[in-house]
Chain A
Amino acid sequence: MPFNARFTIRPITLAAAVLLASLSLDGTALAQEASPAAPFQKVSALVPLPDFVPGLGILYVDPGTLPAGPFLAYGRDGRLVSTVYMLPLATFERHEGWAGLSAAKAAVDHVDVVYNAGHPGVAEPHYHVILWHVSREAAAALAR
């Protein structure tokens, strides 16, 4: 399911993106290998989603961190491509926030903030905040 596309950033989501992008990547070191260690699990084993999600890649998450994540996304070549947070709109409306979210210990090339209407696992409207660890070109290639 294609989840990734750019859109016009609204102020509230821009604020979330800036917040998340400014988080220290020296926090919990998350795996860059294709199969991060437990408690991370492949998302397709937890909910009815394909192994490879077009636009994102192969997703892993610690179920205890749902719905926000982080989700670690890998390309078909096993390379870590992004750290993804899935932030429900309802939490924005309740003026809630997130603090201390972990991120992969990898350089961030760019950030996308993408609205999603919902999918198994996060069955409500939410935003994907995607810290890309690869170039825009490599990220775009995941849509295919």
Chain B
Amino acid sequence: MTPVRLDRRRFLEVGALSLAGLRVLPSLRRAGEEVVVRLRADPAGSRVWFEPRGVAILPGTRIRWELEAGVHTSTAYHPDNARAPWRIPATATPWDSGYLLEPGRSFSVTLTVPGVYDYYCAPHEAAGMVGRIVVGEPGAPPYFPAARPEWRPLPQAAAHGFPEVATIVRHRAIR
């Protein structure tokens, strides 16, 4: 897990919000900040992953996926993306980075709608390379609409690859 570092001003902000009874974790980033998720692979291409694979942010935070090694995508689970199952908030806009081929290349989205966002790497979904972002207060499950026949099923490895929402919220970032 990523260590939490708070400067004095941020500490006071969080403390004030907590005293006000708001459920704001000290780990959540401020709106307008950027969080980087690295797309990684070992030298053999046998192990592939997002790092962190689970992250909690505030609405308005920008997420940037940066290619470290291998060939990857960041693709939202949404029927617009190859009939993928719908696993982002109903009013959120899906994304697809397309293939990132050269190390250092990146792709960004700013997430404003609270909820749970699941995404995958197109060539590695079957190998379980998926990630989850929790934006603001996710509410209670179910987080996504029920599966429809026209949507393709989740590969087994992908279905088991998402960190629990509560765990992400508690720890802020899950590697």
How many A-B residue pairs have C-beta atoms within 8 angstroms? Tell me.
Answer: 69
Interface membership of B101, Cβ < 8 A: yes
Given the complex, which residues of A lie within 8 Å of B42, measured CB to CB? 5
Q: Are B101 and A50 in contact (CB under 8 A)?
A: yes
Q: Are A7 and B45 in contact (CB under 8 A)?
A: no
Partner of A48, one of B69, B70, B71, B124: B71
Given contacts A2-B69, A48-B101, contact A119 B127 (CB under 8 A): no
**Size class of the contact patch on chain B:** 20 to 34
Interface membership of A118, Cβ < 8 A: yes
Interface membership of B144, Cβ < 8 A: no
How far apart sit A50 and B101, CA to CA, in the bound complex (Å)? 7
Given contacts A123-B122, A124-B126, contact A7 B44 (CB under 8 A): yes
Q: Are A119 and B71 in contact (CB under 8 A)?
A: yes
Task: Please name the residue on chain A nearest to B44 by beta carbon.
Answer: A5
Partner of B43, one of A5, A119, A125: A5
Stretch at the interface among A20-28, A109-117, A131-139: A109-117
How far apart sit A5 and B47, CA to CA, in the bound complex (Å)? 12
Tell me if B's interface is mostly helix, strand, loop or mixed: loop
Partner of B124, one of A3, A49, A123: A123
Given contacts A2-B45, A4-B44, A117-B48, contact A125 B126 (CB under 8 A): yes
How far apart sit A48 and B129, CA to CA, in the bound complex (Å)? 18
Tell me if A's interface is mostly helix, strand, loop or mixed: loop
Within the complex, the shortest CB–CB distance from B66 to chain A, in Å, comes to 16
Partner of A125, one of B101, B122, B127: B127
Given the complex, which residues of B lie within 8 Å of A125, measured CB to CB? 126-127
How far apart sit A125 and B46, CA to CA, in the bound complex (Å)? 8
Q: Are A119 and B125 in contact (CB under 8 A)?
A: no
Within the complex, the shortest CB–CB distance from B7 to chain A, in Å, comes to 39
Q: Are A48 and B99 in contact (CB under 8 A)?
A: yes
How far apart sit A116 and B69, CA to CA, in the bound complex (Å)? 14
Task: Please name the residue on chain B nearest to A122 by beta carbon.
Answer: B123
Interface residues of A in 32-72 (CB under 8 A from B): 48-50, 55
Q: Which A-B residue pairs are the 10 nearest by beta carbons?
A: A5-B44, A117-B127, A48-B99, A123-B123, A124-B126, A115-B46, A117-B48, A2-B43, A118-B123, A3-B45
Between-chain CB contacts (< 8 Å), 13 pairs: A1-B41, A1-B45, A2-B43, A2-B70, A3-B44, A7-B46, A48-B71, A115-B46, A116-B46, A117-B45, A117-B46, A120-B122, A124-B126
